[in-house]
Structure 1
């Protein structure tokens, strides 16, 4: 497994940094869809494996959303095995309809399948990690979608290099590279990528964001994706600090309710984050909370004139009595 083309070296450098953080004897697994980015990731992982005291393998997730998905998964698995990755597992993701949309439901099913499979495969290793093939273009699209939704700093911060779900670390070693690099690396390694038809279906917001990003770069000049990704990195540092401060500022759980003064003394940027933590602690689904929900709760502190109770996701009621705000299930006449 050489690195004769610069794109191969670029992909290998990213994977090398990810492997360097793992203890000896660990298991590193590429999450492979069969697309260009994930196959380039698999190629880089296979190339770097011999230089590190880790076992390198792959997990191919079959969502069952396309008529030929099983054949596509088997082809991807064969290419991973031909690269020298072992173990290689093909798993079926169970996509449940939650109302969040097909993209979100498939993503949640994919992460669940990856985490469960990695944990089972990694039982004999001191640690395990799943490597994801997201690129700088994916990051730019994520930020653009956040802008379109009018989201806050956390959403605009995009994807992190590392996220932990349950006991499984998910690492994105190619997040600094453009998609053209992974395409060139795939070609250099002789890998045959599958093109997901959903990637051209404009029914999905991410596809429209990809097209919009290309149009904006054509009008404003190249470098827009890189600038959006750089902005995400800067915002992520800010959001991480604010989240840390908010975590410290969350009042203890008190059956008597939250004292208004404890919230009123916080800066608005911290108070909104504290509200989200209070609401999720009470049972509100994180993905269902909007900026409007948080703003309505905040007015109980900043613009109190007897309003309420507020009805929030998770069948929660938020109301103020005197100098206390109560968050919980409906009671009495609520």
Structure 2
């Protein structure tokens, strides 16, 4: 979408990844390996050095936002515009618990939840949530995308279960044992969220906003198997507008919703573009390029003629790629 922009501007794309074999690097003009499992200061130094060496005009970070958000001026001094919201917003939104607390305070519906980090806390949380008759799930409380998500289910397996598509199921005992074993071995244990498993379909609202958090346009997408529905639903956009405005989210962000008893409730809010933002191309608006225009101080271009209400299919394709030109990152 950046290359096929409506201004026909020539774009040269540089990418980094911790995995030198990442296919995304082959789609870049220049790829580089970035340092893995380093602290925020080391990562910020790497990013600044990368931008200086390659004379990067625009940096669009999809991760490690907490490492970069406080360095907008340093990047600007290097000639790079950083597409990032404020450190305060990122600090809240990288914690699902703090996100739910803030959203609930402004009237956005959120699920019941508990924060746990040990076996006893897990069992108590599961008992509390299950008391309402809900299926219970668990996931890391930090920014881990979908990694770590499990549905907690202690019921015996049936033949129907064995023949059905695999689901991320795990028993409460198995999770409790893992938490206890990690504690016994003095392994670092992150905080987890225990909450009801919310009804589908999951709705992802891709948002474009001004630097002050004013929502400019939003595109809700719902999953339906291999299809994505591009929804024309003002109620979902209203929730996204409320969250984006409250947190002052700038440029590209993403609000994820599911349903509880037929009502949309917040699943998470991300101060970055979603991985599925490419699906919005079928609405007739190029969100990534509009965000780049905003970041560079221009107007975002025409946004009003969204084609919503349609359905697109997510399919696999094979693309021939050449060897990525990789340089090993120092650090």
Whether these two folds match at TM > 0.5 is no
TM-score by length of 1: 0.23
In terms of fraction of residues, the more strand-rich structure is 2
In terms of fraction of residues, the more helix-rich structure is 1
Larger RCO, structure (CA 8 Å, separation 6 or more): 2
TM-score by length of 2: 0.23
